[in-house]
Chain A
Amino acid sequence: MLVYGLLRCYHGSRISCCDVVKLANILRTGKTEKVHLQPDPFLNELTSMFEKSTETGSVWVTLKRSSLKSKVQRNKMKTAGSPIEYRCLVRATDGKKTIATSVGMKDHQRFQASYATILKAHMTALKKRERKDKKKAVETDKKEGDSKKKPKV
């Protein structure tokens, strides 16, 4: 019904076909478009996502290498001989909202450190080793450690 209404708008006024599809998807799934942020606001939003999903829900974080340019542009740059600058694309979602940022070579260490801090602070629900396992692990670690240390020295 809603999609039909949107299509009527499309025929009536100049809404593009892509917009109709996007709006229809939003209405159907309740999902909004991906938001591209700078690294620092991204980290703030990521923190709030973790905080919101403590009772229920998941947080997904995806890392991918990207030059943020289309294939056509990349091929052009290749033929021109100019080096393509790659960035690390980071996306995070809680199932409803998606945020994204891209991190370049210069900022990646700083971003990585802040990101690690956020993860450490929030991944508190994971089980810690039980004492029985700890004793066994300590014994096996000692044995392994002794055997490993010798070849290094």
Chain B
Amino acid sequence: MVYITSWDEFVERSVQLFRADPESTRYCVKYRHCEGKLVLKVTDNRECLKFKTDQAQDAKKMEKLNNIFFTLMARGPDADISDVAGKEQAEAQPTKKGRGRKQ
């Protein structure tokens, strides 16, 4: 079992894994409230990537990853996931630009 310490590396590798084999790749989440632990696993039955945490901030990151996987699985492995990540940036940018133009 490969536990990955860096969140970004985990996300990148799991998306790569999914795109390489969308038929057999699955994303599993295990949550234990009594211990306050969250474990994420992405596997294609050949390679396994895991990420464990007990931090609340990682729950938010996990939600973003959920969005990414939902989009990839429902729309297809070639779906543009920058939509998911890009939406947040797009929401943030117009407000900044607006202020800049008014000035």
Contacts and interface: CB of A to CB of B under 8 A. Distances in A.
Interface in A51-88: 53-65, 86-88
B73 A86 contact: yes
A44 to B, nearest CB: 18
Contact of A54 (B28, B34, B55, B56): B34
Interface residues of B, number: 35
A108 B55 contact: no
Contacts of B16: none
Question: Which of under 10, 10 to 19, 20 to 34, or 35 or more describes the interface residues of A?
Answer: 35 or more
Contacts of B27: 62-64
Interface in A112-149: 112, 115-116, 119-120, 122-129
B90 interface: no
A126 B38 contact: yes
Given A112-B67, A126-B36, A129-B57, A62 B74 contact: no
A8 to B, nearest CB: 39
Q: Is the interface of B mostly helix, strand, loop or mixed?
A: mixed
Given A55-B34, A127-B36, A64 B73 contact: yes
Contacts of B55: 126-129
Given A123-B38, A127-B55, A65 B22 contact: yes
Contact of B75 (A63, A105, A120): A105
B75 A65 contact: no
Interface of A: 50, 53-65, 86-88, 103-105, 108-109, 111-112, 115-116, 119-120, 122-129
15 contacts: A50-B33, A59-B33, A61-B29, A62-B27, A64-B27, A86-B74, A87-B74, A88-B70, A112-B67, A116-B67, A120-B63, A122-B33, A125-B33, A126-B56, A127-B55
